Structure formats: C-alpha cells, structure tokens
Amino acid sequence: MTERFKPSVTVAAVIEQGGRFLLVEEHTPEGLRLNNPAGHLEPGESPEQGCAREVLEETAHPFTPTALVGVYLSRFVRQRDGGVVDITYLRFAFCGSVGALEEGRALDEGIVRTLWLTPDEVRASHGRHRSPLVLQCMEDYLRGQRYPLAAVQTDVSVWATQQMLLKA
C-alpha cells in the first residue's frame, strides 16, 4: 500500500433539552438530510473547541462540551461524477450545555434550519439521516454513555504550531 490512510476527523454534538434533540437540516449531494450539529476539525483547535465552534456556526446556539459520548469510525461510499467517493470519518461526539439562540446570527452555508426532535422522531427519520452515526450517538447518549473530557488530550503543539504558521 503506497498511500497512507487518513480518515477525516469530525466533531459532533449530541444536544438534549427537555427530552428533545437538536438536529440540523442541511443540503448534501444526496439531498436534504438531518445531522447532529457537526463538522470537520480545523487546524489549531482541540476537538472540544471544534465542536463548540461547529454548534455555534450551524445552530446559532453557544455550546459547552461537558462529556465525550463516544469516538466513532464510519465509512461513506457513493458514486459521483463517474467516479467513487470513499471517505472514512473519525467522529468525536460530545454532549454538553447549550445556550440561548443568538438572534440574527446567520447559519452556516448549507444549513436550512434547526429542529428539536424527540427520540422517537429521530428514530422515525433515520432514512433522512446524513450518517448512521446520528442515531447511534443519540442512542449511546440515552443509554448514559459518557466519558470525561480528559479522555481526549490535545497536546500544546496543536496551538503552538498554528501560532508559528500565523507568524510566518
């Protein structure tokens, strides 16, 4: 094998309030899909920081991670433009506290709206989920699966390297 395996690292939030879960409806190449507030980890941020950023960008709600729900590996394969798209995702899913909606804040490009759904509504909509991890993360959360944030360590070199690049 000549090419090194490089999964795409993503972060996601499992946000529950009053028995309902916050999801986003977003445009994808497969049409409108439901997803946890989620996105790609960016250079110079920890998984927790990336998760908080993605939630704010996609929902206009501030978010503070308080626990790790789980780390998930999934693969997505689809035909596209005469070729095959084959992506493996490594997802860090966090739960935590969500703040009040920041009125007037624009949602990330592609996000149509936010929805608060009951667990049964999330289960019933599984055919519209962007990934099977939407349901898996919720079910793990409902089972009480939580790990301390300290289970995910971010070395200081992540920020130091980013600072060096900004100065260059």
Residue 153 maps to a domain: yes
Nearest Cα to Cα of residue 87 among 104, 103, 74: 74
Q: Name residues whose C-beta falls within 8 Å of residue 85's C-beta, 6 or more positions apart in sequence.
A: 76, 77, 78, 79
Please answer whether residues 26 and 32 qualify as being in contact, where contact means their C-beta atoms are separated by less than 8 angstroms.
yes
pLDDT of residue 139: 98
Q: Which of 62, 116, 67 is nearest to 125 (CA)?
A: 116
pLDDT tens profile 16-42: 999 999 999 999 988 999 999 999 999
Q: How many domains does the chain have?
A: 1
Q: The CATH number of the domain where 42 resides is what?
A: 3.90.79.10
pLDDT in tens, the chain (168 residues): 578 888 999 999 999 999 999 999 999 988 999 999 999 999 999 999 999 999 999 999 999 999 999 999 999 888 777 888 888 999 999 999 999 999 999 999 999 999 999 999 999 999 999 999 999 999 999 999 999 999 999 999 888 766 666 676
On whether residue 89 sits in a domain, the answer given is yes
> Does residue 3 belong to any structural domain of this protein?
no
In this structure, is residue 120 part of a structural domain?
yes
pLDDT at 32: 97
Range of the domain at 60: 8-167
Per-residue pLDDT reduced to its tens digit, 91-107: 999 999 999 999 999 99
Q: What is the pTM of this model?
A: 0.90
Question: Per the domain annotation, does 2 fall within a domain?
Answer: no
